Amino acid sequence: MIEQKEKTKRVYAHVRVHGLAASVEGKERDGHPVVLYDEGGQRVVSASPEAQRHGVRPGMSRWEAERACPELVAAAPNPEKHAYFWQRVVEICGDYSPHLCSSVSPQRGSPTSHCDISLDLTGTRLLFGPAKEIALEIRNRLRAEIGVVASVGIGPNRTIARLACESAKPGAVVEVAPQDAAEFVGRLPIGALPGVDVDWAQRLSDMGIRRAKELAALPVDAVERAFGEQGRKVWEIARGEEREDGIVAGTPAPAQQAMAGGHGNARPTATEQAISAQVEVRPATDDRARVRAALRAAADDVTRRLRQQGKVARQVEIVIVFSDMRAIGARRTLGQPTRSSEVIFRAAGALFERMKLGGRLVRRLRIMASRLAVGPHGGQLGLPIQEREERRERLAERVNQLKDRFGESAVVRASAFETVRR
């Protein structure tokens, strides 16, 4: 009975990647210190680890940064490329968690100083070992495979894990045990708690409350009368607690998970928001026919998972990654929700036809089906469809059964044979 309780203990990790965009650019420049500036070119928004070792920090003025590191290189924002590497971060973290609780990714066209992912590690000990070992492995993989520095916090709830991460130095792992949660949070300044803005922190300071433990010592009724429901939530955080529904730390949005690249596999990954599949094109090519065959394989994988989940999709997006790691993407909204491989492939193919490769070699592609909804009758399409679509649906079901029984390579489309490595 004791062992069973131990298995069901909640444990979360919060991963913060420092200077993702600048780190990617720095790795491509053989470790040279790199920064990205804001739109005006006067303030640092992202700094590579090499630049940070010289004292360069996000928020610095350009003059201060170049004074601290005269050999600093300013890189231009490349949203598509940086979004690709952010997706790789999500992939690596997703290898260790049943689902990602939430994520804060780089804003398109405006790289942030850091990017965050919250992971639920509950029940993963038997698969990957203790939470701290998982955190160290994630940190080490992010450094080795992408070249980024990450800090990781571990705690019994999402908020404690996040606060532990924020207290860690770049590249460090901080774990807070359940029995130490209240003491850990109690030492923090009141302004460090989620939900406490500058005005509220000043009000509490005027009342003589400057540390979280001082707020936690107050009667909850008094705090709620003074600050309302938000006051109760912050009071709970100050005590090292968090409601299971997540309203204390904010309602998380599931992160979009991409496929793991570099392993020669095309793996669909489902979230509440999207289902996607990625295919490696080996060798890289500019032959449009081969790329379309890879799109067909990805469409088959996506629709297979849609059927398994009983979902239909209203939007299709494709991302093409070239051998120089640059990427382009496009999306299309469908006329009606579908889980038909043919419909999704036609939409993806139409998007691809409008893309100009410019002689570049396609290395990888991804199809994402989004705007998901539960299909009628467990995912069976209730809308009228043509007889040939019905035949395709029945055929797809039989193919899925064969793959489930004999493996992914049991049935391969002729167009995809020897074109993509599955």
| Mean local confidence (pLDDT), 22-26 | 87
pLDDT, mean of residues 368-380: 70
The set of residues, in sequence order, having a beta carbon less than 8 Å from that of 227 and lying 6+ positions away, is 200, 234
Asked whether this chain's domains 2-175 and 178-238 adopt the same fold, the reply is no
Q: Which has more pLDDT, 103 or 332?
A: 332
Instruction: Decide which of 1.10.150.120, 1.10.10.10, 1.10.150.20, 3.40.50.300 is the CATH code for 178-238.
Output: 1.10.150.20
User: How many angstroms separate the CA atoms of 95 and 15, rounded?
Assistant: 14
Q: Which residue's entry shows tokens 């043509």? A: 386
Q: Please enumerate in sequence order all residues whose Cβ is within 8 A of that of 73, keeping only pairs 6 or more positions apart, or say none.
A: 25, 29, 32, 33, 34, 35
**Residue 305: what pLDDT?**
86
2-175: in CATH 3.30.70.270: yes
N residues, the chain: 422
Higher pLDDT, 64 or 328: 64
Averaged over 389-411, what is the pLDDT?
A: 57
Q: Specify the pLDDT at position 175.
A: 96
| All residues at 6 or more sequence positions from 188 whose CB lies less than 8 Å from its CB, including other chains | 163, 167, 211, 212
Query: In whole angstroms, what separates CA 302 from the centre of its chain?
Result: 18
Question: CATH assignment of 269-421, given 3.40.630.30, 3.30.1490.100, 2.40.440.10, 3.20.20.80?
Answer: 3.30.1490.100
The reported pLDDT for the residue numbered 248 is 34
pLDDT tier for residue 294 given thresholds of 50, 70 and 90 = very high
Give CA–CA dist 246/154, Å, rounded. 16
> pLDDT-derived band of residue 291, with 50, 70 and 90 as boundaries?
very high
* pLDDT at residue 254, as a whole number: 31
Number of Cβ atoms within 10 Å of the Cβ of 353 = 9
| Confidence grade of residue 8 (pLDDT, cut at 50, 70, 90) | low
pLDDT of the residue at 13: 94
Residue 376 has pLDDT above 50, yes or no: yes
| Token pair in block for residue 125 | 């000990």
The tens digit of pLDDT for each residue in 36-91 reads: 998 888 889 888 888 988 999 888 899 999 999 999 999 888 888 888 888 888 88
Average pLDDT for 346-369 = 89
At residue 325, the pLDDT reads 66
Summary count for the chain: helices (H), strands (E): 16, 14
The tens digit of pLDDT for each residue in 207-236 reads 888 999 999 999 988 888 888 878 888 899
Q: What is the pTM of this model?
A: 0.57
SS3 100: strand
Nearest Cα residue to 11 out of 135, 102, 185: 135
Q: Collapsing DSSP states into helix, strand and coil, what is residue 282?
A: strand
Residue extents of the structural domains in the chain? 2-175, 178-238, 269-421
Nearest 10 degrees: Cα torsion 246, 247, 248, 251: 70
Peptide bond between residue 283 and the one before it cis (omega within 30 degrees of 0):
yes
Q: Measuring CA to CA, which residue among 187, 186, 163 is closest to residue 175?
A: 163
User: For residue 207, how many other CB atoms are within 10 A of its CB?
Assistant: 12
Work out the average pLDDT over 177-197: 90
* pLDDT (mean) for 124-137: 90
pLDDT higher than threshold 60 for residue 105: no
Average pLDDT over residues 298-327: 85
| Average pLDDT value over all residues in the chain | 78
- List CB contacts of 130: < 8 A, sequence separation 6 or more: none
